[in-house]
A and B are shown apart, each in its own frame.
Chain A
Amino acid sequence: MSMQSAEKADFYKQLGRMYGTYTGAFIAFIILIAIIEKLGVPNRVLGYMFVGFTIAVYAIIGVMTRTAQVSEYYVAGRRVPAFYNGMATGADWMSAASFVGMAGSLFLLGYDGIAWVLGWTGGYVLVSILVGPYLRKFGAYTVPDFLAFRFGGNFARFLGVIVLVCCSFTYVTAQVFGTGIIASRFLGMPFEWAVFAGLAGILLCSMLGGMRAVTWTQIAQYIVLIIAYLTPIVILSTAKYGFPIPELTYGLAVQDITAREQQMIAQGLATTANLKPHVQPFLSYSPLNFFGIIFCMMVGTASLPHILMRYFTTPTVREARQSVAWSLFFIFLLYFSAPAYAAFSKLEVYTNIIGSNVSEIKPWLFTWGQLGLIQICGKAVANVADAVAACKAIAGHAGVIRLQDFVINTDVVVLSTPEIAGLPYVISGLVAAGGLAAALSTADGLLLAIANALSHDVYYKMLDPNAPTIRRLTVARVLLFVVAVCAAYLASTKPGDILAMVGWAFSLAMAGNFPALVMGIWWKRCTTTGAVAGIIAGFGLCLFYLVTTRYYPQAGVSYFGMSSLTNPQTGAALVDVAKLMADPKWVADVPASAANPMQSRVGWFGLNNINCGLLGMPLGFLVMYVVSLMTPEPSKEMQAFVDEIRKPRGKMILEEKT
């Protein structure tokens, strides 16, 4: 498995040449499309060319890297260099939500939205110092593999699989949903078709080559998504401030926003009640929930199986650590640009839309208005006449757009930036290809995590330990296909809850996995009974809090002493629980309908249910500690194994036959 140094240097050089050529070809392709656009080819055709070209590249890589070897299928042969694994992790990590939604959230929430940026980056510190490199030394194929070995067998493995499936499946469904949205918007396909077309793209990349194929396509996808994300704002920043680094120039935009906010209040375009100053903290989240989100997303990062398993693919423990650093660097490039997107578009909206006459609305607004993603005066409007009529309907409206008259969907911020800036359509097509790359790459990683857990942990380790290689790989591929089709089917029904559930995945992973992984590595005295009890207690409490506050808020109030969350700005209760509980209409509403005003608005200590990990994880640690001390010390052999995990040198603990 280990390569000679000359061979290795050669391999690295070859990789550099390959991806360098690929990047060059992609840029040349963008220029080519720009020229074709000038010749008057319609936008729809350009969109198809963009998406078609990028998916074809991913598919070619997927087919070229097909494999019939188990270790190649599960951990890419453990020879992905740190730098490239970092890039692949970056693509794995950044989902449709990061690419399309994050800048929009920052636009709406201002400072408070940064909790997500911090939470989704700082977690890598925990991955590197507490968990990742040790799992690499252990030599597992999956995270449940480690739990099974350290905590005596298949019960711990089974718990690990449950946690993994719970936190990965909703997440992958959201990615498939994202590909559907992007494909339907830019290619004009019906949403349901677009979902299954996206599915085909995902399967092409992962089915034949498993982890090996996913790794090399994710690198290609990272290159597309980062070029797509940065190009529009670099152009915008150069045009506005004469300097091509938007991350530095948006400070001036933030200043302008603050000045404009005061001006808007002075002119009566906004009120102190409906305007959330962009830099003022704790207006949307209370300090507890703000820091709770940061903490849950960080610890969740260090517990999500599809991320941890990326570090199983490096040649050495040393490279696993370097690889975490590279991962965060590549993720950082996108995340520190998101606030710039938010600031530029907010300034644009505040100066050129708010305060202007309804009759003078720019035409780009209506393309999004038609889709219902931008509302003027409470209506999704498709043309100027509609907008004027909608505002006339509001009593005493002066025909000038006020802050409360303009509502924008968070997804539009990134997707419409090229149009706001008046850039040619080629840039819009590029952004669509980038969003698609982000969604596909994350979906690939997640699907592989689920299918591997089912094929390796459940089928091979629990059901049929004597299965021959060919059958193992066939089962893995069939399961991958089945899970993918289930996810696509669920996505095509447009389930309303799915997007909210993505945030939950972090809390669930954190409560279920983090204590067991950390204690298993850092505390030799942790016993099997302790770990199992801790996983059940922590994950159980987290799941209970989620389900109760979301679906059974009445029961939460009646039996578990939950009360209303508070508005962070005023400190007032969000809902009048006593009054609602007296209303027979809501008492019987079990499980809660979407209309239930208490849904996700009750809880303990004013804690949002997205932060349920904050309850589950400490309980998990506590139970693990107490029960471990009550049960006999783990065997000398097990303690020696833990010592081995802590030393990078030497053989892996779990050498799989291939």
Chain B
Amino acid sequence: MAQPDNQANQEEHWRKTSKLMWTHLGVWFFFGYVVHMFVVPLNKIVIPVLGFPLGFYMAAQGSLIAFVVMLFMFARQQDKIDRDHGYAEDDQ
């Protein structure tokens, strides 16, 4: 609430929001696509104890876990940006 709702604050808030968006989009692209492009070499590595080939594991579980974790982090990070600029909703 410390910040005034002026043009500069608004632009700074949106700049940070956009940056966060691109960062998450990058991580999303990595776990959604890039890592699976290397499935053949990754499959040569076998996860100890569990026995999964790594390439298969990343598609069946690894990336999904990454997506879930990302979303909880994003909710937190975006909320922090909103709070820093005084644009967050009041806590009820």
Residues of A within 8 A of B (CB): 2-5, 8, 111, 114, 117-118, 121-122, 124-126, 128-130, 133, 247-248, 251-252, 254-255, 279-281, 287, 291, 294-295, 298, 315-318, 321-322, 324-325, 328-329, 332, 335-336, 339, 522, 643, 646-649
Contact = CB atoms under 8 A, between A and B. Distances in A.
A486 B77 CA distance: 45
B86 A114 contact: no
Nearest to B20: A129
Nearest to A133: B78
Contacts of A298: 32
Interface string B7-21: 000100110011011
Contacts, number: 136
B33 A294 contact: yes
A129 B87 contact: no
Nearest to B18: A522
B88 A251 contact: no
Interface of B: 10, 13-14, 17-18, 20-21, 24-25, 28, 31-33, 36-37, 39-40, 43, 46-47, 50-53, 55-57, 59-61, 63-65, 67-68, 70-72, 74-75, 78-79, 82, 86-90, 92
B92 A5 contact: yes
Contacts of B75: 128, 318, 321-322, 324-325
A339 B52 CA distance: 12
Contact of A335 (B31, B47, B64): B64
A147 to B, nearest CB: 21
A111 B54 CA distance: 12
Given A291-B33, A325-B71, A126 B28 contact: yes
State the 9 A-B residue pairs at the shortest beta-carbon distance, nearest first. Answer: A325-B71, A251-B52, A251-B51, A321-B75, A251-B50, A647-B87, A114-B59, A339-B60, A325-B72
Nearest to B5: A647
Contacts of B28: 122, 125-126, 129
Given A252-B50, A325-B75, A649-B87, 12 more contacts: A118-B64, A121-B64, A122-B32, A129-B21, A279-B53, A294-B33, A295-B32, A318-B75, A318-B79, A332-B64, A336-B60, A336-B65
A248 B47 CA distance: 11
B79 to A, nearest CB: 6
B61 A247 contact: yes
Contacts of A117: 59-60, 64
A316 B87 CA distance: 12
B57 to A, nearest CB: 7
A202 to B, nearest CB: 30
Given A125-B67, A129-B24, A648 B87 contact: yes
Contacts of B63: 118, 121-122
Q: Is the interface of A mostly helix, strand, loop or mixed?
A: helix
B33 A111 contact: no
A316 B64 contact: no
Contacts of A643: 10
Nearest to A323: B75
14 contacts: A2-B92, A5-B92, A121-B64, A248-B50, A251-B50, A251-B52, A252-B50, A255-B46, A280-B43, A316-B89, A318-B79, A329-B68, A522-B18, A647-B13
A4 B53 contact: no
| B24, B37, B39: residue with the most chain A Cβ atoms closer than 10 Å | B39
Contacts of A647: 10, 13, 82, 87
A295 B36 CA distance: 13
Contacts of A4: 92
Nearest to A339: B60
A647 B61 CA distance: 35
Contacts of B78: 133, 321
A649 B10 CA distance: 12
Nearest to B11: A643
B89 A317 contact: yes
Nearest to B78: A321
A339 B61 CA distance: 9
Contacts of A329: 68
Given A279-B43, A318-B88, A254 B64 contact: no
Contact of B51 (A255, A336, A646): A255
Contact of B79 (A130, A279, A321, A335): A321
Nearest to B46: A255
B90 to A, nearest CB: 8
Contacts of A291: 33, 36
